[in-house]
């Protein structure tokens, strides 16, 4: 008869104890026994690094854990795993680098950090044979990173389409119900769904960071984030949602990725999706990611993309995985499965899809002919066209809306530029892409 050796607890240190950090501590305490079974041993918090030691914290944060000195964590050989939930680029990057160099596993929820430095940090983690886990960096509680890294390890991903920002999704949902952008944004801020400065969210850059992270796992791609075309939702007007509805679509803000062989197609922007699309009815603050595997086919994940507990669920799931790997003597095994290579991002001008075009025009003879001629000169074929018979603006402008057949972005842009020089045009044309997803 052999006796199983008693396993030492896995000791973790938190960097930050704000909303997400508090949720992590609460979940670790509430599910302590259950998590120990999953990890194969106890998980024990030893340190919590904060800026202000006297600031009120969740009840689960013990005073003896609090420190303002990072050296207390990185110089402590008992600390097995560092959990970064402080956000921002610095000093978070420096702390994670120190943790990896010290042979400690790392769990992070930092999408900015992984988007900018993910490939570099993955290489460092592989070299040090430690884990770098970042499930919570994309989609809050939606297990999209784990799905791409593990569940689809036997398949290759053809495409991903994601509603990746709850603020944008909430605003577009309310606008579809009749609110203006400004009123919907204010309501989102009052409900805590949007920051006081919502630029990162409504400008599309939050979703772009998440798309870069997903591209690492979906396509094994190291990309230059600056090459990704990013558009937000602040220019969407109620009339666009009305026309989209008439044509049989809804407008969603999407992060889109396609594997194009030696290149990847990555873009973030509002898009028209069919009312029967799998993403059309993902509303409010929910996030949704639609993955198309070459062998699996379609796969949809939907859930809460932000908040203390949804994000904490993903962070703690990573803590359990990293803890289990250390207990079993195989640290870094999951991270070593992430293999990345440089991939060029396809220029937006080469992207091919269908388009929704809206022009505000004056009452001039031959307007439709001029528009159709400019589009035809660039090889842009019209599928549907609607000219509203009533003026929507004080200057008497009426909208002309067009749905095109599939064509290149470059062709559409050249045609629209030619139309912009016409005397009948009032205001800036609207170009939105249509995604068949």
d(CA 107, CA 83): 5
| CA-to-CA separations, 6 to 3, 39, 65, 328, 348, in angstroms, rounded | 9, 14, 25, 12, 57
Residue 60: closest CA among 267, 302, 279, 316? 316
Our measurement of the distance from residue 211's CA atom to the centroid of its chain's CA atoms, rounded to an integer in Å, reads: 5
DSSP state of 425: B
Task: Please tell me whether residue 189 adopts helix, strand or coil conformation.
Answer: helix
* Encoded tokens for 432: 């939105």
Residue 252: closest CA among 163, 339, 330, 328? 163
Q: Per the residue annotation, which of 210, 275, 344, 422 is the catalytic one?
A: 210
Residue 169: closest CA among 97, 232, 86, 112? 232
| CA-to-CA separations, 296 to 153, 292, 308, 317, in angstroms, rounded | 11, 7, 32, 25
Residue 99: closest CA among 68, 130, 126, 69? 130
275 is catalytic: no
Helix (H) or strand (E) holding 115: helix 111-128
Return the active site residues. Answer: 210
């Amino acid at each position: 008869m052999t006796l199983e050796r008693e396993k030492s607890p896995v000791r973790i240190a938190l960097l930050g104890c704000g909303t997400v950090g508090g949720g992590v501590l609460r979940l670790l305490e509430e599910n302590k026994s259950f998590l120990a079974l999953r990890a194969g041993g106890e998980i024990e918090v030893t340190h919590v690094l904060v800026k202000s030691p006297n600031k009120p914290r969740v009840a689960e944060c013990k005073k003896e854990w609090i420190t303002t000195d990072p050296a207390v964590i990185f110089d402590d050989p008992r600390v097995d795993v560092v959990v970064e939930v402080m956000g921002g680029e610095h000093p978070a990057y420096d702390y994670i680098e120190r943790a990896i160099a010290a042979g400690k596993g790392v769990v992070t929820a930092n999408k900015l950090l992984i988007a900018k430095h993910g490939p570099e940090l993955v290489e460092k983690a592989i070299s040090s044979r430690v884990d770098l886990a970042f499930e919570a960096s994309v989609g809050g509680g939606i297990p999209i990173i784990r799905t791409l890294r593990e569940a689809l390890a036997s398949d290759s991903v053809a495409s991903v389409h994601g509603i990746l920002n709850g603020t944008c999704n909430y605003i577009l949902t309310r606008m579809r119900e009749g609110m203006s952008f400004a009123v919907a944004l204010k309501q989102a801020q009052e409900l805590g769904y949007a920051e006081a400065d919502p630029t990162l969210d409504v400008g599309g850059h939050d979703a772009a960071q998440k798309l870069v992270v997903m591209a690492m796992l979906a396509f094994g791609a190291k990309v230059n984030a600056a090459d990704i075309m990013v558009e937000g939702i602040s220019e969407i007007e109620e009339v666009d949602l009305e026309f989209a509805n008439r044509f049989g679509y809804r407008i969603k803000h999407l992060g889109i990725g396609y594997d194009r062989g030696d290149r990847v197609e990555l873009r973030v922007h509002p898009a028209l999706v069919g009312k029967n699309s799998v993403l059309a009815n993902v509303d409010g603050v929910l996030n949704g990611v639609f993955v198309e595997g070459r062998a699996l086919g379609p796969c949809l994940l939907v859930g809460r993309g932000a908040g203390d507990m949804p994000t904490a669920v993903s962070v703690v799931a990573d803590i359990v995985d990293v803890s289990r790997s250390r207990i079993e003597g195989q640290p870094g095994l999951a991270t070593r499965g992430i293999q990345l290579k440089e991939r060029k991002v396809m220029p937006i001008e080469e992207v091919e899809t269908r388009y929704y075009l809206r022009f505000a025009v004056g009452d001039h003879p031959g307007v439709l002919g001029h528009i159709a001629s400019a589009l035809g000169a660039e090889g842009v074929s019209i599928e549907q066209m609607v000219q509203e018979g009533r003026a929507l603006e004080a200057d008497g402008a009426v909208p002309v809306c067009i749905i095109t057949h599939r064509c290149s972005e470059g062709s559409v842009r050249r045609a629209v530029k030619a139309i912009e020089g016409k005397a009948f045009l009032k205001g800036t044309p609207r170009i939105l892409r249509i995604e068949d997803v």
